[in-house]
């Protein structure tokens, strides 16, 4: 996932699309109404600069190295979390240079997993970006 | 009687065409081409037929032969007054015809052998051809009731409302002989009753017989009318004859160059040509875009000393050519050729957009 | 407390059952219409600032928003419409000239919608564009009047400079300043890919775009903004803007707040100064002066580029065009009264000028009557809304068409007509970087390419239906058109017959 800061408008639609995709529901209103979202992509902004941050799926991920229980692993090129193994030690959160990992609602850590297991299939943030700021491609 | 051109009436039609050309200049009787067009009877519906013959007036070879229709005596008087003011009339007579029950509503038909009045010609600062062309266009657009339907030297158009074979017999064409004959039978989708609208259309010595319906008609008409022509009949043949006259006589293009304007090759074809051909075709197409003719057409263009056959680029109308010895044949159907020449040396179909041109061989003249 | 006479034109209707308070509407509205109220725990809207640009509506992920006409109504009056009354209130408030953007929206006749196209049947076969060659390539420029041959009798094939278009559609002049850098980049890239041209408008040419020069028409307008030697050399053709359909008789107008940074540099004027182009070119007070400018420009560019003269459609357009055709111009562009603009006085935009359909027909016929139609090519603009309009324009006599509003619609414009405020929510008619960002040229240029490609395919379908396979045979082919519901006089000016004839 690559974000082009030049085109990011700070609209935050990527966050909502991520949360929706993760919910596994087919109706966005039902999925998100009345709930505070915890998206796996977050827009960082100051003044006129906006930038959506998500897991970089690093080639040599520091978080995987630091994970105490082996919950974090590289699967099919993506860095994924095994929810059953995560004990919530927050080591990965501290280690990730991008701040891409955060606790989920019910405890285990969560991060972008390229929508491989969600209802969306292809990354929802990229598909829903109105200005082509997020692209999903090999580089 | 619905006249072509009146109230902007445009009458499309399907047709038959035929042509015979003797490369040696041998003069053949009109009977042969009549037999050819008669075979294609079903391609006409009796609402128009006509012929053009070249080399038919050897004794008046240097004079313009004007064939004129008149609705009534008054029109004839008016027109003759105009002719006397502009031309030296060497001979004038009623056109000899043979009454035929299948040819009705016959107008007055007269024939004049003329040359431009020398003083008027000098005054006009034009060459003789341009002078005559302008006079013809003027009569046809301004003198109601008079229509000059043939105006070339040593050639003549003979046409009427009726099946072509009947028209030929009406004018007694078996008795005329020329080195080139073209013929046309018409199948219009309306009922024109007016003789001037039949084909061929002629101006000076260019005559065109045409089978087809051009979709670019109005684009062509509005372009050619800028150069002094008046398309009063609103027929395809009229506009195509004017285009030929303009490009060949006034702009000095060769027949092949003219064909490249009227049936210009597609850009994709032009791009594949060798460089100088490519430049030439691109140039012609870009200089005369308004004279590109689209829509199905197959024409036989007659002119002094030659004949040209041309199809549209997609060849959407039939046209067959054949050769036997020194004589060339063209027709809408091969059977129409074989009925007059049962064993030609070769028979072929000219390609779309490819002009087929034959001229009198060097040294040959039309006086045999 | 002063009375507010200007009531909100629109109502923002939010379906609260659908709204998930994602606040995208709040973040994306440059007019600050939406806000999240912490105490109420929901989104609230201030409809008085809404211009109906549809940005929030299109971005809302749950489609919770609708913008409606404010149902609050004055008493019905066939003579005094709400709009007319509000305009008077505005002028009483400010004492100013009313300013509007984009094209005339009034209920005047649209002749394109009363003209019908022919198809071939029975006597003449239609042509299948999928299986047969169908040519839309067009050349714009003058035609030589004499054929010349060399010593061997071969034709000398030199031609005056022409523009070669793969499709008969070009992008109309929209100045850098009235629209953003990103919009220009989208237009330039699309023109290059499509094999056609875009027009700089009177704002000059940004140096980043010199590389698209071969697909650029550079404009010389009355203000001469950004006109210098390199500018003239950079383009493929030079357009002298004598008038514009949206505002015949007056010059361009770019409010000072849009003249910043690169705009000011490219136009060669100080930042913040209003760029109000003079009404006439002050060196062209008559047709002979125009001829001098045409030839000066040609001399400055070594006679290598065609010169276009753009005129607005006004009452004696035919005579004006005739004069222009004799002034050495290669191409005449006619802009009808429905043409768009970044900013123009409302009264001029709505009341001055005539429809392009009539102007085009009159000019084409007049030039043919005078025997000079082949000296120039004609380009028609001023509300060409579809490929059908383009086909009808070509059949009336145009060689090609200019599209402006249609191109902006492809880029995202929703015709809210607030360009003059400089707060275009779609990143098109604004210079604020935060807003201009919203138009990503990678997306924008692809949409333009899609639009023109789709139109070109439709043009080929219609041509095939008429039995025409090269666009030259459609040009001026009035018999392919018929009118419906038009008066004798309208039919006469258009030069077409009534349907049924």
Which residue in B14, B36, B66 sits closest to B188, CA to CA? B14
d(CA B302, CA B366): 15
Percent of chain B with pLDDT over 90: 81
Domain locations in chain B?
A: 6-209+303-359
Q: Which residues on A lie below 8 Å from C20 (Cβ)?
A: 16, 28-29, 32-34
Q: How many other CB atoms are found less than 10 A from the CB of residue C137?
A: 17
Q: What is the pLDDT at residue B150?
A: 96
d(CA B301, CA B241): 8
Q: Which residues on C lie below 8 Å from A9 (Cβ)?
A: 27-28, 437-438
Residue entry with tokens 């959506």: A52
Q: What is the pLDDT at residue B13?
A: 65
Q: Which of A23-37, C168-182, C361-375 has the lowest mean pLDDT?
A: A23-37
Q: Is the pLDDT of residue C53 over 90?
A: yes
Report how many Cβ contacts below 8 Å link chain A to chain C.
53
Average predicted confidence (pLDDT) for chain C: 94
Q: What is the pLDDT at residue B148?
A: 96
Percent of chain B with pLDDT over 70: 93
Distance from A85 to chain C by nearest Cα, in Å?
Answer: 32
B313 token code pair: 């680029």
Told to judge if B135 belongs to the known catalytic residues of this protein, a careful annotator would answer no
Segment of A96-100, B193-197, C168-172 carrying the highest mean pLDDT: C168-172
Residue A135: exposed, middle, or buried by beta-carbon count in 10 A (0-12, 13-18, 19+)?
middle
Q: What is the pLDDT at residue B366?
A: 39
Distance from C369 to chain B by nearest Cα, in Å?
Answer: 6
Instruction: Give the SS3 label for residue A94.
Output: helix
Query: Which residues neighbour C96 within 8 Å (Cβ) at sequence distance 6 or greater?
Result: C90
Bond before B200 cis per omega within 30 degrees: yes
For residues B127-138, give the mean pLDDT: 95
Measured torsion, CA atoms of residues C63, C67, C68, C70, in degrees rounded to the nearest 10: 140
User: Over the Cα atoms of chain A, what is R_g?
Assistant: 15
Q: What is the pLDDT at residue B365?
A: 43
Contact A12 C27 (CB under 8 A): yes
Query: Which residues neighbour B172 within 8 Å (Cβ) at sequence distance 6 or greater?
Result: B96, B97, B98
Q: Enter the ipTM.
A: 0.90
Nearest CB to C59: which of A11, A15, A32? A11
Q: Which residues on C lie below 8 Å from B226 (Cβ)?
A: 368, 371-374
C190 token code pair: 């699309």
3-state secondary structure B105-145: CCCEEEEEEEEECHHHHHHHCCCHHHHHHHHHHHHHHHCCC
For residues B172-183, give the mean pLDDT: 96
- Reported as a single tens digit per residue, the pLDDT across C383-436 is 999 999 999 999 999 999 999 999 999 999 999 999 999 999 999 999 999 999
Residue of chain C whose alpha carbon sits nearest to that of A5: C437
Nearest CB to B314: which of C123, C132, C154? C132
Residue B179 or C1, more confident: B179
Instruction: Give the SS3 label for residue B147.
Output: strand
Longest dimension (CA), chain B: 60
d(CA C104, CA C339): 7
Q: What is the pLDDT at residue B1?
A: 41
Q: How many other CB atoms are found less than 10 A from the CB of residue C73?
A: 8
Q: What is the pLDDT at residue C3?
A: 87
For residues C471-496, give the mean pLDDT: 97
Residues 76-105 of B with CB under 8 A from C: none
Question: Which one of 3.30.70.270, 2.60.40.1080, 1.10.287.1770, 3.60.20.10 gives the CATH number of domain B6-209+303-359?
Answer: 3.60.20.10
Using the Cβ of B59 and the Cβ atoms of chain C, whether some distance falls under 8 Å is answered with no
A10 token code pair: 């700070």
- Reported as a single tens digit per residue, the pLDDT across C30-52 is 999 999 999 999 999 999 999 99
Longest dimension (CA), chain A: 41
Q: Using an 8 Å Cβ cutoff, are A11 and C59 in contact? A: yes
The pTM assigned to this predicted structure is 0.93
d(CA C412, CA C444): 8
Contact B283 C474 (CB under 8 A): no
Q: Residue C254: pLDDT band by 50, 70, 90 thresholds?
A: confident
Q: Which residues on C lie below 8 Å from A17 (Cβ)?
A: 61
Average predicted confidence (pLDDT) for chain B: 91
B324, C5, C115 from C392: Cα distances, Å: 50, 44, 8
Neighbours of chain A (3+ CB pairs under 8 A): C
B212 token code pair: 């087809």
Q: Which of A116-125, B12-21, B112-121, C359-368 has the lowest mean pLDDT?
A: A116-125
d(CA C153, CA C164): 28
Q: Using an 8 Å Cβ cutoff, are C171 and C447 in contact? A: no
Please report which residue ranges of C171-286 form alpha helices under DSSP H. Answer: 181-194, 229-234, 261-267
Residues 450-489 of C with CB under 8 A from B: 466-470, 472-480
Q: Is the pLDDT of residue A124 over 50?
A: yes
Nearest CB to C28: which of A11, A28, A48? A11
Q: What is the pLDDT at residue C336?
A: 96
Residue B54 or C259, more confident: B54
Q: Are strands C115-117 and C99-100 parallel, antiparallel or unpaired?
A: unpaired
Q: Using an 8 Å Cβ cutoff, are C126 and C441 in contact? A: no
Q: Which residues on C lie below 8 Å from B314 (Cβ)?
A: 127, 132, 469
Contact C59 A9 (CB under 8 A): no
Contact C473 B294 (CB under 8 A): yes
- Reported as a single tens digit per residue, the pLDDT across A9-44 is 999 999 999 999 988 888 999 999 988 899 999 999
Q: What is the pLDDT at residue B361?
A: 83
For residues B327-351, give the mean pLDDT: 95
Distance from C163 to chain B by nearest Cα, in Å?
Answer: 11
Q: What is the pLDDT at residue A1?
A: 83
Q: Using an 8 Å Cβ cutoff, are C57 and C67 in contact? A: yes
C468 token code pair: 């025409």
Using the Cβ of B287 and the Cβ atoms of chain C, whether some distance falls under 8 Å is answered with yes
Q: Residue B191: pLDDT band by 50, 70, 90 thresholds?
A: low
Domains of chain C: 10-96 (3.30.70.20), 138-475 (3.20.20.70)
Which residue in C335, C344, C293 sits closest to C317, CA to CA? C335
Domains of chain A: 1-54+118-139 (no CATH), 57-111 (3.30.70.20)
For residues C71-88, give the mean pLDDT: 94
- Reported as a single tens digit per residue, the pLDDT across B268-306 is 999 999 998 999 999 999 999 999 999 899 999 999 999
Nearest CB to C476: which of B219, B267, B286? B219
Measured torsion, CA atoms of residues C278, C279, C281, C286, in degrees rounded to the nearest 10: -160
State phi, psi for C490 to the nearest 5 degrees.
-65, -45
Please report which residue ranges of C69-180 form alpha helices under DSSP H. Answer: 82-94
Q: Using an 8 Å Cβ cutoff, are C21 and A17 in contact? A: no
Query: Helices B164-171 and B31-39 sit at what angle, rounded to 10 degrees?
Result: 160
Residue of chain C whose alpha carbon sits nearest to that of A37: C22
Q: Which residues on A lie below 8 Å from C182 (Cβ)?
A: none
Q: Is the pLDDT of residue B364 over 50?
A: no
Q: Is the pLDDT of residue B48 over 90?
A: no
Chains A and B touch (3+ CB pairs under 8 A): no
Nearest CB to C438: which of A17, A20, A131? A131
Q: Is the pLDDT of residue B323 over 60?
A: yes
d(CA B318, CA B348): 11
Using the Cβ of C55 and the Cβ atoms of chain A, whether some distance falls under 8 Å is answered with no
Please report which residue ranges of B144-216 form alpha helices under DSSP H. Answer: 164-171
């Amino acid at each position: 996932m690559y974000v082009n800061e030049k085109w990011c408008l700070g609209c935050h639609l990527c966050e909502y699309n991520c949360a929706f995709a993760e919910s596994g529901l087919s109706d966005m209103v039902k999925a998100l109404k009345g709930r505070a979202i915890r998206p796996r992509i977050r827009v960082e902004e100051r003044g006129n600069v906006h930038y959506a941050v998500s897991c970089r799926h690093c080639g040599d991920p520091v978080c995987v190295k630091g994970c105490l229980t082996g919950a974090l692993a590289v699967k099919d090129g993506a860095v994924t979390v095994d929810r059953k193994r995560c004990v919530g030690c927050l080591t990965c959160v501290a280690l990730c240079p991008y701040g891409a990992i955060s606790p989920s609602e019910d405890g285990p850590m969560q991060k972008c997993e390229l929508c491989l297991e969600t209802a969306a299939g292809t990354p929802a943030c990229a598909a829903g970006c109105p200005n082509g700021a997020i692209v999903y491609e090999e580089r | 009687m619905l006249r072509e051109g009146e109230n902007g009436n445009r009458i499309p039609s399907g047709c038959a065409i035929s042509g015979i050309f003797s490369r040696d200049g041998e003069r053949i009787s009109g009977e042969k081409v009549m037999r050819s067009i008669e075979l294609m009877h079903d391609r006409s519906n009796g609402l128009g037929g006509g012929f053009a013959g070249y080399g038919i007036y050897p004794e008046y070879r240097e004079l313009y032969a004007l064939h004129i229709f008149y609705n009534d005596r008054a029109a004839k008087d008016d027109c003759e007054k105009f002719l006397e003011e502009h031309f030296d009339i060497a001979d004038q007579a009623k056109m000899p015809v043979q009454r035929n029950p299948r040819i009705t509503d016959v107008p007055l038909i007269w024939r004049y052998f003329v040359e431009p009045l020398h003083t008027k010609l000098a005054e006009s600062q034009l060459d003789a051809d341009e002078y005559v062309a302008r006079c013809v266009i003027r009569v046809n657009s301004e003198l109601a009731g008079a229509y000059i339907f043939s105006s070339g030297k040593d050639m003549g158009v003979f046409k009427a409302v009726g099946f072509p074979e009947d028209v030929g017999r009406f004018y007694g064409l078996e008795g005329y002989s020329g080195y080139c004959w073209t013929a046309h039978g018409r199948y219009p989708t309306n009922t024109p009753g007016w003789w001037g609208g039949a084909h061929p259309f002629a101006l000076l010595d260019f005559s065109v017989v045409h089978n087809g319906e051009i979709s670019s008609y109005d684009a062509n008409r509005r372009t050619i009318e800028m150069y002094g022509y008046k398309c009063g009949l609103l027929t395809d043949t009229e506009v195509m004859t004017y285009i030929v006259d303009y490009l060949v006589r006034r702009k000095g293009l060769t027949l092949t160059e003219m064909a490249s304007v009227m049936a210009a090759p597609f850009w994709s074809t032009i791009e594949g040509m060798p460089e100088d051909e490519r430049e030439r075709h691109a140039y012609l197409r870009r200089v005369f875009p308004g004279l590109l003719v689209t829509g199905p057409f197959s024409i036989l263009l007659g002119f002094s000393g030659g004949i040209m056959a041309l199809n549209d680029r997609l060849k959407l109308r039939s046209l067959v050519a054949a050769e036997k010895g020194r004589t060339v044949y063209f027709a809408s159907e091969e059977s129409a050729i074989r009925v007059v020449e049962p064993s030609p040396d070769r028979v072929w179909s000219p390609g779309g957009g490819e002009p087929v041109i034959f001229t009198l061989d060097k040294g040959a003249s039309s006086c045999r | 407390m002063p009375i507010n006479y200007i009531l909100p034109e629109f109502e923002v209707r939010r379906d609260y059952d659908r709204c998930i308070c994602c606040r995208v509407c709040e973040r994306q509205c440059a007019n600050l219409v939406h806000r999240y109220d912490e105490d109420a725990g929901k989104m609230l809207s201030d409809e008085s600032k809404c211009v109906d640009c549809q940005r929030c509506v299109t971005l809302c992920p749950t489609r919770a928003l609708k913008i409606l006409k404010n149902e609050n109504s004055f008493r019905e009056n066939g003579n005094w419409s709400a709009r007319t009354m509000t305009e008077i209130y505005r002028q009483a408030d400010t004492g100013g000239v009313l300013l509007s953007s984009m094209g005339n929206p009034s209920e005047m006749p649209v002749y394109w919608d009363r003209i019908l196209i022919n198809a071939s049947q029975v006597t003449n076969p239609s042509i299948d564009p999928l299986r047969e060659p169908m040519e839309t390539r067009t050349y714009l420029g003058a035609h030589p009047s004499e054929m010349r041959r060399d010593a061997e009798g071969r034709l000398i094939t030199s031609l005056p400079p022409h523009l070669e278009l793969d499709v008969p559609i070009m992008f109309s002049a929209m100045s850098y300043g009235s629209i953003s850098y990103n919009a220009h980049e989208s237009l330039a890239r699309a023109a290059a890919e499509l094999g056609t041209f875009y027009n700089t408008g009177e704002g000059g040419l940004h140096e980043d775009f010199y590389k698209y020069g071969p697909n650029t028409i550079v404009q010389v307008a009355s203000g001469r903004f950004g006109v210098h030697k390199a500018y003239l050399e950079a383009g493929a053709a030079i357009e002298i803007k004598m008038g514009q359909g949206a505002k015949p008789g007056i010059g361009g107008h770019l409010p000072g707040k849009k003249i910043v940074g690169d705009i000011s540099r490219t136009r060669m004027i100080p930042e913040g100064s209003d760029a109000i182009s003079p009404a006439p070119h002050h060196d062209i007070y008559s047709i002979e002066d125009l001829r001098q400018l045409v030839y000066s420009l040609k001399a400055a560019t070594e006679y290598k580029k065609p010169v276009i003269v753009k005129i607005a459609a006004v009452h004696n357009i035919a005579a004006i065009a005739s004069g222009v055709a004799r002034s050495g111009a290669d191409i005449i562009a006619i802009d009808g009264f429905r043409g768009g603009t970044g900013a123009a006085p409302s009264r001029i935009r709505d009341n001055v000028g005539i429809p392009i359909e009539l102007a085009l027909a009159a000019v084409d016929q007049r030039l043919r009557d005078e025997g000079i139609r082949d000296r120039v090519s004609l380009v028609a603009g001023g509300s060409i809304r579809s490929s059908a309009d383009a086909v009808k324009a070509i059949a009336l006599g145009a060689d090609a068409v200019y599209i402006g509003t249609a191109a902006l619609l492809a880029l995202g414009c929703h015709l809210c007509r607030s360009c003059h405020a400089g707060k275009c929510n779609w990143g098109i008619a604004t210079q604020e970087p935060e807003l201009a960002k919203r138009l990503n040229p990678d997306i924008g240029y692809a949409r333009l390419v899609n639009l023109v490609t789709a139109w070109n395919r439709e043009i080929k379908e219609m041509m095939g239906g008429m039995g025409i396979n090269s666009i030259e045979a459609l040009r001026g082919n009035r018999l392919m058109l018929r009118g419906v519901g038009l008066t004798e006089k309208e039919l006469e000016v258009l030069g077409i017959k009534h349907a049924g004839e």
